[in-house]
Amino acid sequence: MQLEEFYFKMPHLKTEPIIDDTTLRDGIQMPGLAVGPEDAAKIAERLCELGVERLEVFHYQEPDKKAAKLIHKLKLPCRVAGWCRAVRADIDNALDLGFSEVGISHPVSHIHFEAKWPDKTADELLANVVDVVEYAAKDHGLRVFVHGEDSTRADWEFEKKWVNAVADAGAECYRICDTVGIGLSDPCAPVTNGIPAKVKALRQTRIKALEIHAHDDFGNAVENSMAAVRAASGVWDKIYVSTTYLGIGERAGNAETEKVLLNLYMHHGVMKYKGKTKMIKETADFIGKATGYVIPPNKAIVGDYGFAHESGIHMHGVLNNSWTYEPYPPELVGNTRRLTIGKQSGKSGINHKIADLTGKEPTEEQSAAVVEQVKKVYANGRRASLKEEEFKKILREQKLLPQEDKANCR
């Protein structure tokens, strides 16, 4: 069976999706996470190798400044942008550190206006953003993205005015920020929080490019990101997709880089990721260790249990044909198939494990004895799968493996 039987079936996208990874900005804002400068540079390098074309980084605290310098020193093939507030001092900081492009973030919803600047009008806030964009783009020649924070709760008429104003000031891209994750992927959803509708409606503004930045409060960040890409097809020449690896970030996090990349490749045939997907798991493990994030074992694509099988029905199927319970070979994303022994394991799975560890098929009597021993373990309330050494101990008790040499264990 070949991948082509199920994947690469959709018509080619009439837009170029560009992954803009913000692990080193939004990702490390997740409570409890941190990353050192050297590891940050290694993360940037790995992400570029994986196919990320733009990176977004912090650059204010001393460790962040050191990380930015190390990243610039690598001369990576992907673009590196500094994240800024709408204040000139942030632009100056980015210039001092050698950034050639920046993202300028500012709310566009009246919810934020009234909570943060109750003494200012919306037009006064817009005038300030225009001033900072002009300062960055026209006065200093920086490429500028403007992040419309809380776009999915903004007044649409005012947002259009905002986008045109920053475009005239020199911004090349506008980021739709689904800041609290209420965006809807349904094409029929209204333009305020309907992602496809907003992607298409913004084409009528003067901005040259568009980006989607989706949060996962409803669990829809990847869905909304992909909906934006599909809506952009035939409408925008390119669309940036803002993601974080492993979905790390504030509150419920963001759209996962690895999920968006794999969906673009497998379902939409974006072939620039071909051959790079095998780095996905290794990159996840490195980022997890570097930031202190514990990857859930059942995390899609990159979790240790992503291709683990324990129940008798599943293990029997996979042993006969891996396609029965696996969507693609684990090697495609650098993961590994794991056949574990536990409460739900059946005879065929246990026999396979015996043969794997001993090098020969067990007899019916030997198989029955091992199955019985496994059942006894779980009859006492055990829940976790057996560790390799625990299963080997059972095999030694049944004389299917030689006893350990105690002298070598001292």
The answer to whether residues 116 and 154 belong to one domain is yes
pLDDT value at residue 408: 55
| pLDDT tens, per residue, the chain with 410 residues | 789 999 999 999 999 999 999 999 999 999 999 999 999 999 999 999 999 999 999 999 999 999 999 999 999 999 999 999 999 999 999 999 999 999 999 999 999 999 999 999 999 999 999 999 999 999 999 999 999 999 999 999 999 999 999 999 999 999 999 999 999 999 999 999 999 999 999 999 999 999 999 999 999 999 999 999 999 999 999 999 999 999 999 999 999 999 999 999 999 999 999 999 999 999 999 999 999 999 999 999 999 999 999 888 888 899 899 999 999 999 999 999 998 898 888 888 899 889 989 999 999 999 999 989 999 899 988 888 898 899 999 999 999 999 876 555 54
- The residue out of 291, 319, 350 marking a domain boundary is 291
The answer to whether residues 342 and 206 belong to one domain is no
245, 257 contact by CB (below 8 A): yes
Residues 320 and 237: their CA atoms lie apart, in Å, by 45
Is 299 among the domain residues? no
Rg, Å, the chain Cα set:
26
Is 296 among the domain residues? no
Is 300 among the domain residues? no
Is 239 among the domain residues? yes
- The residue out of 291, 319, 335 marking a domain boundary is 291
The answer to whether residues 226 and 343 belong to one domain is no
Burial of 73 (0-12, 13-18, 19+ CB in 10 A): exposed
117, 149 contact by CB (below 8 A): no
3-state helix, strand, coil in the chain (%, to 5): 50, 15, 40
* Cα atoms in the 13 Å half-sphere on the side-chain side of 288: 15
The answer to whether residues 346 and 252 belong to one domain is no
The answer to whether residues 160 and 246 belong to one domain is yes
The two structure tokens encoding residue 215: 């949060």
The model's pTM is 0.93
The answer to whether residues 159 and 12 belong to one domain is yes
The answer to whether residues 226 and 358 belong to one domain is no
The two structure tokens encoding residue 316: 């029997």
Is 301 among the domain residues? no
Residues 241 and 80: their CA atoms lie apart, in Å, by 15
The answer to whether residues 320 and 267 belong to one domain is no
The answer to whether residues 341 and 227 belong to one domain is no
Residues 295 and 284: their CA atoms lie apart, in Å, by 8
Taking the CB of residue 145, how many other CB atoms lie within 10 A of it?
Answer: 27
The answer to whether residues 123 and 195 belong to one domain is yes
pLDDT value at residue 310: 85
**Strand ranges for 195-305 from DSSP E:** 209-214, 238-243
63, 37 contact by CB (below 8 A): yes
- Write the CATH number for 271: 3.20.20.70
pLDDT value at residue 161: 98
Is 297 among the domain residues? no
The answer to whether residues 317 and 281 belong to one domain is no
Q: Which domain holds residue 183?
A: 3-291
Is 176 among the domain residues? yes
Is 324 among the domain residues? yes
Number of domains in the chain: 2
The answer to whether residues 215 and 348 belong to one domain is no
